[in-house]
Copies of this chain bind each other. A is one copy, B any other.
Amino acid sequence: MMEAGVVRVSSNEIGAQMGLTASQIRQDFNCFGGFGQQGYGYNVPKLRDQLAEILGMHQTNTAVIVGAGHFAHALLHNFKFGNCGVQLLAAFDILPTVVGTSIAGVPIRHIDTLEDYIQKHEVDIVILTLPSNKAEEMAKRAANAGVRGIWNLTNEALPPMPNGVLTESMHLSDSLLTLNYYLSDASESENTEEN
């Protein structure tokens, strides 16, 4: 909306755009504070700024990526880490042919140096883009080395991590299976809403 130059919006309009009720918009915002003004609605730039603050888009967490394969390439070339409050420092891999090279300006280091690097640079987040069967092992190594969070992009579920390290997983297969389910006969008796 900001890009479109919209300055003012009501909970009703936001709800309509998102497929939610106006009540829900107001209730949810008010979990974090009163961002609006009676009789007016919400000021778009101000609202965006406050939400950005809550989501931590302004802070900077440092991150490294483990597994410098195709997925890592895709992220390093296209994903706007800066917009998510994340600064990407380095990538790690085991292949001698890629170690020492760089992707989109990010250097690739050998996986054996992971722990040292995490400690020396106080890395906050480890991003997992490696083969699923190595995900748990690497997550634990990173957690023990002192990261605060793990962004798991493999299709493997991770067990709880030591030291209260947080895990956020994103399973492509879950998402595709969800679509598949709604396209299948199995869901036919359900309603016809889409998200």
Contacting chain B: which of A54-62, A90-98, A105-113?
A: A54-62
Q: Indicate if A166 sits at the interface (CB-CB under 8 A).
A: yes
Given that A170-B172, A182-B168 are contacting pairs, would A177 and B56 also be in contact in the complex, using a CB cutoff of 8 Å?
A: yes
User: Is B175 in contact with A56, judged by CB distance below 8 angstroms?
Assistant: no
User: Is B74 in contact with A180, judged by CB distance below 8 angstroms?
Assistant: no
Q: Indicate if A53 sits at the interface (CB-CB under 8 A).
A: yes
Residue of B nearest to A186 (CB): B54
Given that A53-B186, A61-B183, A166-B182 are contacting pairs, would A151 and B177 also be in contact in the complex, using a CB cutoff of 8 Å?
A: no
Q: Indicate if A26 sits at the interface (CB-CB under 8 A).
A: no
Q: Indicate if A179 sits at the interface (CB-CB under 8 A).
A: yes
Give the distance in Å from the alpha carbon of A80 to the alpha carbon of B132 in the complex.
Answer: 12
Q: Indicate if A194 sits at the interface (CB-CB under 8 A).
A: yes
Residue of B nearest to A160 (CB): B194
Q: Indicate if A101 sits at the interface (CB-CB under 8 A).
A: no
Q: Indicate if A102 sits at the interface (CB-CB under 8 A).
A: no
Residues 163-175 of A, flagged 1 when their CB comes within 8 A of B and 0 if not, give 0101111101101
Q: Indicate if A148 sits at the interface (CB-CB under 8 A).
A: yes
Residue of B nearest to A147 (CB): B183
B residues near A149, Cβ cutoff 8 Å: 179, 182-183
Contacting chain B: which of A5-13, A36-44, A65-73, A115-123?
A: A65-73
User: Is A86 in contact with B176, judged by CB distance below 8 angstroms?
Assistant: yes
B residues near A57, Cβ cutoff 8 Å: 177, 180
Q: Which of B84, B164, B175, B179 contacts A180 (CB 8 A)?
A: B84
Q: Which of B148, B180, B181 contacts A183 (CB 8 A)?
A: B148
B residues near A167, Cβ cutoff 8 Å: 194-195
Q: Which residues from chain A sit less than 8 Å from chain B, CB to CB?
A: 19, 32, 53-57, 59, 61, 69-71, 73-75, 77-81, 83-86, 124-125, 148-149, 151, 153, 160-161, 164, 166-170, 172-173, 175-184, 186, 192, 194-195
